[in-house]
């Protein structure tokens, strides 16, 4: 009885182990291709799955994430017979697990060979310069060709990039010399343009300076003219004011004479002053009225009397 219980327990343990061994958890972004009795049965997505022992088998585990494969450099020949090395990088993603498992024996090796042959065909139609300047065109065409060819394998090619284009050493030296000459030519052009712009700026500066000097001289001449005009105006105003003062004094004197009764002696003195002015002329004879003669004698007597008193 104890032996039977032990046997049952052993059988249960074996069944439990077999059951646990046939439980599979598929992680995210992965898939399992399951065969039943040697034929394709199902594709498991992420989650918990149980297969039938000894009947079902997981034949292939597939990574559904985008993958990158870097192929080694391939030797290609351009249209103008230049041999160079080109290595490519392919970004691909598995879209059909069944086709990927049963479409081709070694999908990556197949993609590598397909990439190499496609690249040789495309580069053979281009010369060296076209190859170096047409990376985007080559990438686009290769992606379209590879994507179409790998549809039967359950693979989608997302991008193809030419990683390196390595021409022969002598071609590289020639290209470096050409680039150096081009850089020197551009430098000479830039230097000449700089000197030209500098000369233009200097000439414009001189012209502007001459214009400013002429404007300053013009303003100075205007200021000098205004100063002369102002001085003349002030001088004329001074002369006019002096004349006005003289006229006012003369008018005041005439008014005083008109208001004062005439004195005989004053009239005689004024007549004497008039005669003095007449004597300054070209006349050789002066006729003195008798009244002035008497006045002159009176003045002489008064003068003599004054001198005696002083003595």
Task: Between 153 and 288, name the one with better pLDDT.
Answer: 153
207-223 pLDDT, tens per residue? 888 888 888 888 888 88
Q: Per-residue pLDDT averaged across 273-298, rounded? A: 54
CA–CA gap between residue 53 and residue 60 (Å, rounded): 17
Average pLDDT, the chain: 81
Residues forming beta bridges with residue 24, ordered by sequence position: 49
Do 60 and 84 touch, CB atoms closer than 8 A? no
Encoded tokens for 307: 């001198």
Residue the block writes with tokens 């003095």:
276
44-87 pLDDT, tens per residue? 999 999 888 889 899 999 999 999 999 888 888 888 888 888 98
The pLDDT > 90 percentage for the chain reads 23
Q: Per-residue pLDDT averaged across 155-161, rounded? A: 93
Task: Between 137 and 251, name the one with better pLDDT.
Answer: 137
At 150 the pLDDT is: 92
Residues forming beta bridges with residue 89, ordered by sequence position: 70, 161
pTM higher than 0.75: no
* Alpha helices (runs of H) in the chain, residue ranges in sequence order: 2-21, 97-102, 107-123, 128-133, 135-150, 169-259, 264-279, 290-310
At 13 the pLDDT is: 83
At 61 the pLDDT is: 92
Residues counted in the chain: 311
Query: What DSSP designation does 138 have?
Result: H
Q: Which of 130-139, 170-179, 184-193, 224-233 has the lowest mean pLDDT?
A: 170-179
End-to-end CA distance of the chain: 198
Q: Which of 124-133, 139-148, 263-272, 279-288 has the highest mean pLDDT?
A: 139-148
At 245 the pLDDT is: 80
At 91 the pLDDT is: 95
Confidence of residue 38 (pLDDT cuts 50, 70, 90): confident
> Which SS3 state, helix, strand or coil, does residue 82 take?
coil
Task: Between 74 and 259, name the one with better pLDDT.
Answer: 74
Tell me the backbone φ, ψ of residue 19, rounded to 5 degrees: -65, -45
Does residue 138 surpass a pLDDT of 60? yes
Do 43 and 97 touch, CB atoms closer than 8 A? yes
Does residue 232 surpass a pLDDT of 60? yes
């Amino acid at each position: 009885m104890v032996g039977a219980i032990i046997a049952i327990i052993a059988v249960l343990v074996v069944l439990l182990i077999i059951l646990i061994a046939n439980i599979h958890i598929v992680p995210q972004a992965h898939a399992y291709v399951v065969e039943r009795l040697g034929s394709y049965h199902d594709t498991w997505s992420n989650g918990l799955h149980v297969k039938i022992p000894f009947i079902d088998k997981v034949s292939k585990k597939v990574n559904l994430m985008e993958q990158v494969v870097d192929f080694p450099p391939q030797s290609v020949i351009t249209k103008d017979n230049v041999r160079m090395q080109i290595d490519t990088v392919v970004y691909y993603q598995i879209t059909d697990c069944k086709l990927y498992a049963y479409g081709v024996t070694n999908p990556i090796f197949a993609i590598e060979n397909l990439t190499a042959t496609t690249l040789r065909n495309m580069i053979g139609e281009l010369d060296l310069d076209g190859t170096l300047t047409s990376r985007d065109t080559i990438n686009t065409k290769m992606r379209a060709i590879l994507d179409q060819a790998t549809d039967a394998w359950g693979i989608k090619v997302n991008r193809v990039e030419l990683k390196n284009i390595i021409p022969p050493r002598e071609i590289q030296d020639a290209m470096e010399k050409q680039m150096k000459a081009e850089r020197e030519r551009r430098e000479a052009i830039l230097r000449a343009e700089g000197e030209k712009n500098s000369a233009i700026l200097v000439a414009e500066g001189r012209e502007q300076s001459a214009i400013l000097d002429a404007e300053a001289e013009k303003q100075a001449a205007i200021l000098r003219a205004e100063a002369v005009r102002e001085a003349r105006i002030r001088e004329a105003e001074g002369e006019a004011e002096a004349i006005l003062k003289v006229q006012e004094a003369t008018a005041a004197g005439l008014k005083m004479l008109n208001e004062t009764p005439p004195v005989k002696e004053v009239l005689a003195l004024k007549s004497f002053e008039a005669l003095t002015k007449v004597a300054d002329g070209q006349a050789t004879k002066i006729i003195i009225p008798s009244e002035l003669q008497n006045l002159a004698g009176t003045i002489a007597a008064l003068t003599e009397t004054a001198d005696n008193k002083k003595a």
